[in-house]
Structure 1
């Protein structure tokens, strides 16, 4: 897989070099995006999961920087240990006692949300999963009774209407 890791150092700016050095040293990079506007939730995503483990990158919304980073590290370690959370199924343990679901992100969402990944991979030819968390009652956004006050906390990146319903 051709990535920015193969680019000559002299063609990179300082920010790009730092980004790549973290991936070289730790295997992946945690990008945190905070819009600062109430209408768009903050989010975090990985770069390096795909190139180093053949597992899709992950994006998640509306969790603090520290919580997001910890969750993504835990998933990285699971993948390194040979456990690969399956897309479209309920995954236990990611959020303590609450389930999570990983859903494929539509390519139409890449430009708005995955800028560093698009730069790193040189295109949109990589997979990404959205890590979706439930409301306090364990319901997901596509389930009846999901608490509406969380509706804007996790935008649907599946391509519309949470169309990929997990089993």
Structure 2
């Protein structure tokens, strides 16, 4: 059972009657969350879309927002999300709108709340585990090598989605649902 009051809607806190039909991904996720408090899902790059990673279980275990990061090497991203997961477990997780120094490659990062319309296309594992989103999700937005964020005039606009916007208001990019 998750901390801090009533159970959440996840597959660990609520019996949906389908435990005998869970796939390997969900079973492995449950083991990671039971053992470590969260799991990090890596999504490899494909065609025109960079890779990304996201957490599952921070909400269940620590009532901290799930986290997502896009556009960097997925193994580097996994390390960053695990570092932030440990901070969340210690009660020092990021907040919406927060700017944290030296979070990615010595640069600051900004955390933005994810619009729930992005959950199914970008975080299907979290939807499968939590069953009844929305739940809090934050995107870690990081600057390019010139220290420009995606919204800056000189920032790279397609390496990271703008998940704080509804998909219908997102600028053209490979991130829009297909």
TM category (shorter chain) comes to: 0.7 to 0.9
Matched, 1:74 2:80: no
Deviations 1:116-155 (A, max 9, x none): 1111111222111111010222221112332xxx321101
Please report the TM-score for the alignment, with normalisation by the length of structure 2: 0.80
1:25 corresponds to which residue?
35
Residue ranges of structure 2 left out of the alignment (5+ in a row) = 1-7, 172-178
Paired residue for 2:111, among 99, 102, 105?
Answer: 102
Runs of 4+ in 1 over 4 A off after TM superposition: none
Could you say which residue in structure 2 is the equivalent of 1:165? none
Aligned counterparts of 1:125 and 1:5: Cα–Cα separation in 2: 17
Q: Which range moved further: 109-118 or 13-22?
A: 13-22
User: Which digits, 9 at most, give the CA deviation of each residue in 1:10-45, with x for residues without a partner?
Assistant: 34233322221111111111111125212x221110
Instruction: List aligned pairs for 1:117-156, cutoff 5 A.
Output: 117-146=126-155, 150-156=156-162
Q: Which position in structure 1 is the counterpart of 2:100? A: 91
1:55 lines up with 2:61 in the alignment: no
Q: Secondary structure at the match of 1:70?
A: helix
**Aligned-residue RMSD, C-alpha:** 1.9
For structure 1, the residue ranges without an aligned partner over 5 or more in a row are 163-167
**Higher alpha-carbon deviation: 86-95 or 67-76:** 86-95
Higher RCO, 1 vs 2 (CA within 8 Å, ≥6 residues apart): 1
Q: Give the TM-score taking structure 1 as reference length.
A: 0.85
Of 80-89 and 40-49, deviating more is 80-89
Distance (whole Å) between structure 2 residues aligned to residue 102 and residue 91 of structure 1 = 8
Flag the 1:96–1:64 CA change in 2: closer, same or farther, 3 A: closer
> Of the candidates 13, 23, 47, which is equivalent to residue 37 of structure 1?
47
